């Protein structure tokens, strides 16, 4: 497959951390030289924040992208040369496995080579803290600030040790879920499970956790991700839709669950037995009910501003408070470190749990989805419909990404939002404007529209929720017209 790169994109961009890590085009922005520049300085900042005592260990891991092992090797060698001990992964694994390893090994943190859900021409580097989650923006800003400064001289190189990133991680997940109950449902034919791992780091994951009986799709390594992107969205999972349709024709009554994992297995989505795509906007309310009722968990629910309004309504059913953050799981992780949290989630598929590490974890979420299906004896979509009935709140949701021609266009759009903030959108008055991350407009008909800029790509992201899809489309259409008129 030929990949066309615009000459404008080949201009090297400054090393900047976005919503979760530094990402860039391979060979243009993301190079071996720059990885060698970033990795040891990230280790230095991790040491400043989490280096109490004698620990000097940094976990280094990677996904299945093009040259990921080689980038990780270079990162590890640079970290070792700077005097830190390196715990290096023997193979690819989900990003949450490396966050888990950082905490389990009492390390300073983890450096993970991954570009998550971005297309195959990208690679990236994520920084995880000793606590087992994404570091705060203050930490990544400190890394950026010292990139051009010389490294302190090391008295001697650190040590180099390899480890299996799956073993302890899988053991930890199994201890949190009724694995035997799920295995029994699969074995007796009550439940059929499909897993579209999108050629990414979740490959083999459910089989490692549950054993035989998992129908894994796209488990081979393909750095171009079939010409798409490893993002859990309907347009990228035709194979899963086809597999579920075929299974439904063969078994009209059994429970069927499809699970979707992004490139580094920290985002999840699902497909129900009728072939309907279920984003985390659907999964989160169901998981709240499952964990609060059948599991007996309590604690705060943390949601980003793009999360469904059904989330606080379900939380209220069980007396759970809700805390709202900007988009980016690092903000949820920060809250998890300071409050008793049951679940934290974002609309893009990242869901994490207060009784686990403060990190989104697609494999644990998938296990909880399967546990909810087995214990309720109902498809996830049926459980979601029941919650809508109980709360008397029904809504639909959609999101579109609008590519921007240049950073100048981005600046003009941002200036317009700041200086001429809309008071009416698609014929509905704006009742509240929240500007903690982009601009979220609550409208008189109880729908909402969020306009924000991607933290990792030259893209304007538009989100909307309303009681009908027609209303959602009207809000998004208005936003597109507004942006195009200014651009």
Dihedral angle over CA of 204, 208, 214, 219, nearest 10: 0
* Distances, alpha carbon 251 to alpha carbons 244, 256, 274, 452, 460, in Å: 10, 9, 11, 43, 42
Residue 284 and residue 347: Cα distance in Å, rounded?
A: 9
Dihedral angle over CA of 295, 298, 299, 301, nearest 10: 60
Residue 29 and residue 7: Cα distance in Å, rounded?
A: 13
Tokens of 73: 């090797």
Check whether 92 has a pLDDT greater than 60: yes
Q: What is the pLDDT of residue 458?
A: 75
- Report the predicted TM-score, pTM, of the whole model to 2 decimal places: 0.92
Instruction: Choose among 105, 110, 125: nearest CA to 58.
Output: 110
In this structure, are residues 195 and 268 in contact, taking their beta carbons and an 8 Å threshold?
Answer: no
Strand ordering across the sheet containing 109-113: 22-25, 122-129, 109-113, 57-62, 85-89, 160-163
Residue 296 and residue 355: Cα distance in Å, rounded?
A: 12
Check whether 233 has a pLDDT greater than 60: yes
Q: Which of 17-26, 64-73, 345-354 has the lowest mean pLDDT?
A: 17-26
Tokens of 469: 């899809």
* Distances, alpha carbon 152 to alpha carbons 117, 133, 407, in Å: 35, 26, 36
In this structure, are residues 347 and 463 in contact, taking their beta carbons and an 8 Å threshold?
Answer: yes
Residue 106 and residue 443: Cα distance in Å, rounded?
A: 47
Q: If pLDDT is split at 50, 70 and 90, which confidence band does 96 have?
A: very high
Q: What is the pLDDT of residue 457?
A: 67
Indicate the angle between helix axes 137-145 and 32-50, nearest 10 degrees.
120
Residues whose CB is less than 8 angstroms from the CB of residue 352 and which lie 6 or more positions away in sequence, other chains included:
133, 329, 332, 333, 336, 343, 344, 345, 358, 359, 360, 361
Mean pLDDT across 175-184: 98
DSSP 126-189: EEEETTSSBPPHHHHHHHHHTTTSPPPPPSS---EEEE-TTHHHHHHHHTTS-HHHHHHHHHTT
pLDDT tens figures, 17-52: 987 899 999 999 999 999 999 999 999 999 999 987
Tokens of 172: 């930890």
Check whether 404 has a pLDDT greater than 70: yes
pLDDT tens figures, 133-175: 999 889 999 999 999 999 988 999 999 999 999 999 999 999 9
In this structure, are residues 441 and 429 in contact, taking their beta carbons and an 8 Å threshold?
Answer: no
Instruction: Choose among 474, 467, 473, 482: nearest CA to 422.
Output: 482
What is the Cα 242 distance to its own chain's centre?
A: 25
Check whether 6 has a pLDDT greater than 90: no
Check whether 363 has a pLDDT greater than 90: yes
Higher confidence at residue 111 or residue 414? 111
- Using DSSP, state whether 461 is helix, strand or coil: strand
Domains, the chain, with CATH or none = 7-164 (3.40.120.10), 171-391 (3.40.120.10), 396-486 (3.30.310.50)
CA atoms within 13 A on the CB side of 301: 27
Check whether 8 has a pLDDT greater than 60: no
In this structure, are residues 333 and 99 in contact, taking their beta carbons and an 8 Å threshold?
Answer: no
In this structure, are residues 29 and 17 in contact, taking their beta carbons and an 8 Å threshold?
Answer: no
Mean pLDDT of the chain: 94
Residue 258 and residue 236: Cα distance in Å, rounded?
A: 14
Check whether 125 has a pLDDT greater than 60: yes
Mean pLDDT across 390-405: 92
Q: If pLDDT is split at 50, 70 and 90, which confidence band does 410 have?
A: confident
Mean pLDDT across 174-179: 98
Q: Which segments within 384-435 are labelled E, that is strand? A: 396-403, 424-425, 428-434
* Distances, alpha carbon 139 to alpha carbons 107, 110, 128, in Å: 16, 13, 10
Mean pLDDT across 411-437: 93
Q: If pLDDT is split at 50, 70 and 90, which confidence band does 1 have?
A: very low
Indicate the angle between helix axes 179-187 and 362-376, nearest 10 degrees.
60
Instruction: Look at the block and give the residue holding tokens 């990921």.
Output: 68
Higher confidence at residue 404 or residue 194? 194
């Amino acid at each position: 497959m030929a990949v066309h790169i615009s000459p404008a994109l080949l201009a090297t961009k400054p090393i900047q951390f976005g919503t979760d890590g530094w990402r860039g085009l391979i060979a243009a922005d993301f190079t071996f030289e720059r990885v060698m520049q970033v990795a040891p300085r990230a280790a230095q900042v991790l040491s400043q924040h989490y280096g109490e005592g004698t620990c000097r260990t940094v976990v280094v891991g990677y996904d299945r992208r093009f040259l990921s092992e080689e980038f990780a090797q270079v990162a590890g060698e640079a970290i070792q040369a700077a005097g830190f001990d390196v715990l290096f992964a023997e193979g690819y694994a989900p990003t949450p496995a490396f966050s888990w390893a950082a905490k389990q090994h009492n390390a300073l943190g983890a450096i993970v080579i991954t570009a998550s859900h971005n297309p195959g021409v990208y690679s990236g580097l994520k920084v995880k803290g000793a606590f087992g989650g994404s570091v705060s923006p203050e930490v990544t800003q400190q890394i950026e600030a010292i990139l051009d400064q010389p490294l302190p001289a090391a008295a001697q190189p650190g040590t180099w040790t390899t480890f299996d990133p799956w073993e302890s991680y899988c053991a930890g997940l199994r201890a949190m879920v009724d694995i035997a109950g799920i295995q029994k449902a699969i074995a007796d034919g009550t439940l059929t499970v499909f897993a579209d791992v999108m050629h990414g780091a979740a490959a083999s994951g459910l089989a490692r956790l549950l054993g035989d009986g998992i129908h894994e799709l796209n488990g081979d390594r393909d750095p171009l991700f079939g010409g798409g992107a490893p993002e859990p969205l309907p347009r990228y999972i035709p194979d899963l839709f086809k597999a579920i349709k075929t299974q439904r024709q063969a078994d009209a009554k059994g429970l069927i669950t499809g699970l979707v994992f992004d490139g580094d297995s920290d985002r999840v989505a699902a497909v129900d037995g009728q072939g309907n795509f279920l984003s985390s906007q659907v999964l989160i309310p169901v998981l709240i009910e499952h964990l609060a009722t059948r599991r007996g968990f309590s604690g705060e629910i943390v949601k980003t501003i793009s999360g469904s309004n059904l989330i606080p309504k379900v939380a209220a059913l069980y007396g759970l408070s809700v805390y709202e953050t900007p988009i980016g799981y690092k903000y949820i992780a920060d809250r998890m470190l300071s409050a008793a949290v049951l679940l934290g989630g974002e609309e893009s598929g990242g869901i994490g749990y207060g009784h686990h590490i403060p990190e989104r974890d697609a494999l644990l979420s998938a296990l909880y989805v399967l546990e909810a299906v087995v214990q309720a004896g109902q498809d996830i979509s049926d459980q979601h419909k029941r919650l809508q009935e109980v709360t008397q709140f029904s809504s639909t949701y959609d999101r579109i990404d609008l590519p921007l021609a240049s950073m100048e266009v981005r600046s003009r759009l941002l200036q317009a939002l700041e200086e001429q903030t809309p008071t009416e959108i698609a014929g509905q008055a704006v009742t509240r404007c929240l500007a903690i991350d982009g601009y979220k407009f609550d409208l008189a008909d109880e729908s909402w529209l969020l306009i924000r800029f991607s933290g990792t790509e030259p893209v304007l992201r538009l989100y909307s929720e309303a009681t009908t899809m027609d209303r959602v489309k009207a809000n998004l259409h208005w936003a597109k017209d507004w942006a195009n008129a200014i651009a």
